[in-house]
Structure 1
Amino acid sequence: MKIAFYGSSLLSSYWNGAATYYRGMLADLARRGHRITFYEPDAFDRQSHRDIDPPDWAEVQVYPATIEAARAVIAQAAQADVVVKASGVGVFDDELLEGVVAAARPDAIRIFWDVDAPATLAEMRANPDHALHRAMPALDFVLTYGGGPPVIAAYEGFGARACIPVYNALDSETHHPVPPDPRFSADLAFLGNRLPDREARVERFFLAAAARLPERSFLLGGSGWESRGLPLNVRHLGHVSTRDHNAFNVTPRAVLNIARDSMAAFGFSPATRVFEAAGAGACLITDAWEGLGLFLKEGEEVLVARDGRDVADHVAALTPERARAIGEAARLRIAAEHTYARRGSQVDAILRDERERRACGALRRSVA
């Protein structure tokens, strides 16, 4: 099928945590025969921070961040069999959603793909005139990259015909073990941009642990932390390109995952870094959230912390041998059960089943 996908950015992960999710999902769908055009705005300085070249598995159209350019790419939705509007494009989100739903052919499959369901649902609750309320009757599916039963129930409550989680996963071609890199040496590393609903948890889990272990070294990657006061044993790197993620994950003794407040509250929302770290064979310490057991087993494939004291205790007790054993167990589990090949198969089945359902319906109507 021909898929028109309107998202934040495929070419750049700069202030764009969904990039690796898009790449893994769409690359696998292309391998299954789907033809994909990805539309991304030239916004937030992402194009000057590209970390991949335009891929051979998708056509990427970068358009100026103007309403005229947005309308021009919206019109191209009429050429697609499947029209996808992702959340968090950041430029003309409402116009894109309503525009592509209206421009799509009557027989096209219309999808809203939510890469931050807790934030979207909070906006919908606060704003009865939210564009998604208006678009919902025309949507065939809401796909989400996390959230599980709470998100499904919330979207169905807002009138979604079907809400289906399509979780983050591992692309073993891009995230895999590599030799350690001295640039990323540390006892514990954390990678994440500074965001309002993440900062308090970073303070609680990462910075508090660093303060408890002044003799240990901590590494902080991600944008926005430049103006934040940090303990003396915390080294800040700034933005870390996806090409360096493997080395960032495998070099430290352990890496830390910290869910944003909203993701932790909903549960069932593993961040991309969980799969990227596991794919590289890193020893992962994560904050606790409901649904973790669907992906990794506590104590064997992942270490779980309830606060900074727990994180510090894990770091203090972790030997190189145990860190390697946990990282390898996580890598094997994720590679066996949580890959983009599995997620792509899931989405491919959703699309083909819907097309078959429509064909059968049309046949019945013609016979009648």
Structure 2
Amino acid sequence: MKIAFYGSSLLSSYWNGAATYYRGILRALAAHGHDICFYEPDAYERQLHRDIDPPPWCRVVVYEASPQGVRHALNGAGDADLVVKASGVGYADDALLAGVLAERDPGALCVFWDVDAPATLSEIRHDPAHPLRAALPSLDLVLTYGGGAPVTEAYRTLGARDCIPIYNALDPSTHHPVPPEARYAADLTFLGNRLPDREARVESFLLRPAAELPERTILLGGSGWADKACPENVVKLGHVPTGAHNALNASAGVVLNISRDSMAEMGFSPATRVFEVAGSGACLMTDAWTGLELFLEPGSEVLVVRDDRDVVEAMRGLDPGRAKAIGSAGLARVLREHTYDRRGAQLDRILVDALASRRAGRAA
């Protein structure tokens, strides 16, 4: 199957939380023999902060963030068997959506892939004229980064023919156990960009506990935190490239995952970091959200906290032996059930069947 995929960026994780997800899913999908071309705009200085080279399993076209650049990129939609428009491309999203529907071959599948379903659904629910709402009946399928039944039912209610979640996972070739590094040594580490619907939760789950644990070293990684007031024991790392994530995770006593407000409220939305951390063999601590037990077992494969007091108590009561056991159990679980190879096999079946059904329907 020839696939044209329009997304934010495959080459750079800079202000682009979907990068690891795209890489894992598309690499696994390519292993099933599909010919993939990823189209990404030259926007938000991402091309200045590339953290991988163009991979052998996917061609990458970087186009100018201009109307002319978009038109050039859309040339690739016409001869593809599958055209994917992802959410949050970051430049001319509405024009890209209209373009892929207009330019695709009549026999090709056209898919919208939502990597931030809570935000997208909120937008279209409040805007009857939203371009995506109007386009849903013309799309063959909606795929989502997460969300479970609340998301799939919402999309179907809004007019989608079908909606299927393809969850985050682990790519063991890129995220795996490594020796710790002194530069990342910490008792508790959190990595995530500063975003409006996450900041209050970072204050609650990280910064307030840090103030209660002045003897502990706390690392705060991610873009946007430079001017954030923090307790003295919090060390700000700034952007941490994907290639350094293994060492960052391996060097922490505990690695904390903090969901964005919308993801926590929706549930069934494990962040990429959940699988990265578990895949490194590190002890993962996460805020509570519905559906977590589908991915990791609370208490034995992951620590679950509901507020700042839970974080403080967990840190004070956790001994190295238990932390190591939780990390080992989490690693075993994700390797067994939550790799991108498994997601890729699932996705391959979905897409092959959907394309066959579309072509059969046109031939009838």
TM-score (normalizing by structure 1): 0.98
SS state at 2:88 partner: coil
C-alpha deviation, 1:358, in angstroms: 3.4
For 1:361 and 1:240, the matched residues in 2 are separated by 48
For 2:210 and 2:109, the matched residues in 1 are separated by 49
For 2:362 and 2:223, the matched residues in 1 are separated by 51
Matched, 1:321 2:359: no
2:263 maps to which residue? Answer: 263
For 1:300 and 1:95, the matched residues in 2 are separated by 47
1:223 maps to which residue? Answer: 223
CA contact (8 A) 1:212 1:309 kept: no
2:33 maps to which residue? Answer: 33
Matched, 1:170 2:167: no
SS state at 2:186 partner: coil
Q: Which amino acid aligns with 1:315?
A: M
1:24 maps to which residue? Answer: 24
SS state at 1:183 partner: helix
2:153 maps to which residue? Answer: 153
SS state at 1:285 partner: strand
2:277 maps to which residue? Answer: 277
1:50 maps to which residue? Answer: 50
For 2:75 and 2:305, the matched residues in 1 are separated by 48
2:105 maps to which residue? Answer: 105
Q: Which amino acid aligns with 2:289?
A: W
For 2:241 and 2:313, the matched residues in 1 are separated by 30
For 2:25 and 2:61, the matched residues in 1 are separated by 18
CA contact (8 A) 2:84 2:110 kept: yes
The answer to which of 129-138 and 59-68 deviates more is 129-138
For 1:40 and 1:181, the matched residues in 2 are separated by 33
The answer to which of 120-129 and 300-309 deviates more is 120-129
C-alpha deviation, 1:359, in angstroms: 4.5
Matched, 1:236 2:236: yes
2:193 maps to which residue? Answer: 193
TM-score (normalizing by structure 2): 0.99
2:300 maps to which residue? Answer: 300
Q: Which amino acid aligns with 2:232?
A: L
RMSD of aligned Cα (Å): 0.9
Q: Give deviations 1:209-232, integer Å, cap 9, x for gaps.
A: 101111111000000000111100
SS state at 2:252 partner: coil
CA contact (8 A) 2:221 2:237 kept: yes
Note the 1:337-348 alignment, pairs <5 A.
337-348=337-348
Matched, 1:90 2:90: yes
C-alpha deviation, 1:126, in angstroms: 1.7
C-alpha deviation, 1:354, in angstroms: 1.5
For 1:167 and 1:300, the matched residues in 2 are separated by 22
SS state at 2:215 partner: coil
Distance 1:68 1:360, change over 3 A: closer
SS state at 2:112 partner: strand
Q: Give deviations 1:121-148, integer Å, cap 9, x for gaps.
A: 0110121111101211110110001100
CA contact (8 A) 2:109 2:358 kept: no
For 1:315 and 1:358, the matched residues in 2 are separated by 53
For 1:232 and 1:343, the matched residues in 2 are separated by 42
SS state at 1:329 partner: helix
Q: Percent identity over the alignment?
A: 63
CA contact (8 A) 2:113 2:142 kept: yes
The answer to which of 125-134 and 183-192 deviates more is 125-134
1:334 maps to which residue? Answer: 334
Consecutive unaligned residues of structure 1, counting only runs of 5 or more, are: none
Consecutive unaligned residues of structure 2, counting only runs of 5 or more, are: none
C-alpha deviation, 1:361, in angstroms: 3.8
How many residues align? The count is 364
CA contact (8 A) 1:139 1:161 kept: yes
For 1:72 and 1:360, the matched residues in 2 are separated by 31
The answer to which of 109-118 and 133-142 deviates more is 133-142
For 1:186 and 1:30, the matched residues in 2 are separated by 37
C-alpha deviation, 1:362, in angstroms: 5.2
Q: Give deviations 1:141-161, integer Å, cap 9, x for gaps.
A: 100011001001110111000
1:9 maps to which residue? Answer: 9
Q: Which amino acid aligns with 1:329?
A: A
C-alpha deviation, 1:360, in angstroms: 4.1
Q: Give deviations 1:221-261, integer Å, cap 9, x for gaps.
A: 00000011110010000000000000111111000000000
The answer to which of 207-216 and 260-269 deviates more is 207-216
Q: Give deviations 1:300-342, integer Å, cap 9, x for gaps.
A: 0000000011011111111111111000000000010001011
For 2:44 and 2:273, the matched residues in 1 are separated by 22
1:252 maps to which residue? Answer: 252
SS state at 2:178 partner: coil
For 2:306 and 2:348, the matched residues in 1 are separated by 37
Q: Give deviations 1:30-58, integer Å, cap 9, x for gaps.
A: 11000000000000000010000000001
The answer to which of 67-76 and 160-169 deviates more is 67-76
